[in-house]
Amino acid sequence: MEPIIVKYVEKPELHDPVLIEGLPGVGNVGKIAAEYLRDKLNAKLMVEIYSKYLPPQVLMKGDGTLYLVRNELWYYRDESGNRDLIILVGDYQGMSSEGQYELSYRVLEIAKEFGVKRIMTLGGYGTGKLADTPRVFGAATNLEIVEEMKEYGVYFSETEPSGGIVGAAGLLLGLGMELFDMQGVCLMGETSGYFSDPRSAYFVLKIVKEYFRLDMDMEDLEFQSNEISELTTQFKEEEKKEAKKEDLGYIG
């Protein structure tokens, strides 16, 4: 069996396309953002990727039928003349170090075929804390992009993320710059990392929208984001009350 099997559903001509990645990861921030993007832009499926580097698993569609776990590339043709997008989503990332490298490399090979020179990877930055307003951290392949992204409110830190970036969000950029002459940035939404975090995804996607000047409805994600905000606020108030009670307890 070929370690990675690529099925082309369509081979569109694309205009200076940017590869946007959002695979499962910390807080599923990248996955939520990229799948929302795909859905709202009515992107079209172009490539399916099956691989022994993914888990040996099928998933249920909900109607009694199943499908093999996969990664997919979807394309969005921008009618207003901006750059087109290729969106990478999937059920899993590669399950081993080798699998991570092989899958990212293969995606870059495909991206190159379609003329990709620029990459934007989306992910979460797990802090273990509930942030009031999640910042979006950045890490870029060169200083020009650092400066460019700062203008969109992306936060570049001297020390964070201290452990670097593990997985596809980092590897696509690392392999891309060293071996494919591509440049790009990773946007990481601050998240506790304890649950799937649409609020963090919302803040990440707002930057994506603004950067690519996309005409995209953000309402649904904003709604989910607000729900998380309320839960966070409630949770923090509970914590404060709890803390007060304990204080009183000591006094009484």
H or E stretch at 185: strand 183-191
Helix axes 29-40, 198-211, angle to 10 degrees: 50
Provide, rounded to whole angstroms, the least separation between the CB of residue 12 and a second copy: 22
What is the closest distance, in whole angstroms, from the C-beta atom of residue 82 to a second copy in the complex?
Answer: 25
Helix, coil or strand: residue 184: strand
Nearer to a second copy, 177 or 218 (CB): 177
Nearer to a second copy, 86 or 108 (CB): 108
CB 83: neighbour CB atoms within 10 A?
Answer: 16
- Cα 51 to Cα 93: distance, rounded to the nearest angstrom: 10
Minimum distance from CB of 36 to a second copy (Å)? 23
Q: Which is nearer to a second copy, 45 or 166 (CB)?
A: 166
The C-alpha atoms of residue 195 and residue 71 are separated, in whole angstroms, by 22
Q: How far is the CB of 249 from a second copy (least distance, A)?
A: 30
How many CA atoms does the CB half-sphere of 30 hold within 13 Å? Answer: 30
Tell the smallest beta-carbon distance from residue 39 to a second copy (Å).
Answer: 21
Burial code (b: 16+ CB inside 10 Å, e: under 16) for 27-36 equals: bbbbbbbbbb
The least CB distance from residue 81 to a second copy, in Å, is 30
- Closer to a second copy by CB, 56 or 252: give it: 56
Q: Least CB distance from residue 116 to a second copy, whole Å?
A: 17
CA distance 110 to 137: 27
Binding site for a second copy (CB under 8 A): 1, 5, 7, 48, 50-60, 62-69, 94-98, 100-102, 104-106, 138-143, 146, 156-162, 164-168, 170-171, 173-175, 177-179, 186
Residue closer to a second copy by CB (options 94, 221) is: 94
* For a second copy, the closer CB: 113 or 237: 113
Comparison of 87 and 173: residue with beta carbon closer to a second copy: 173
**Max CA separation in the chain (angstroms):** 74
Task: Give the integer Cα–Cα distance in Å for 149 and 143.
Answer: 10
Amino acid at 55: P
Locate 132 and state its tokens: 């009031």
What whole-number distance in Å separates Cα of residue 122 and Cα of residue 32? 9
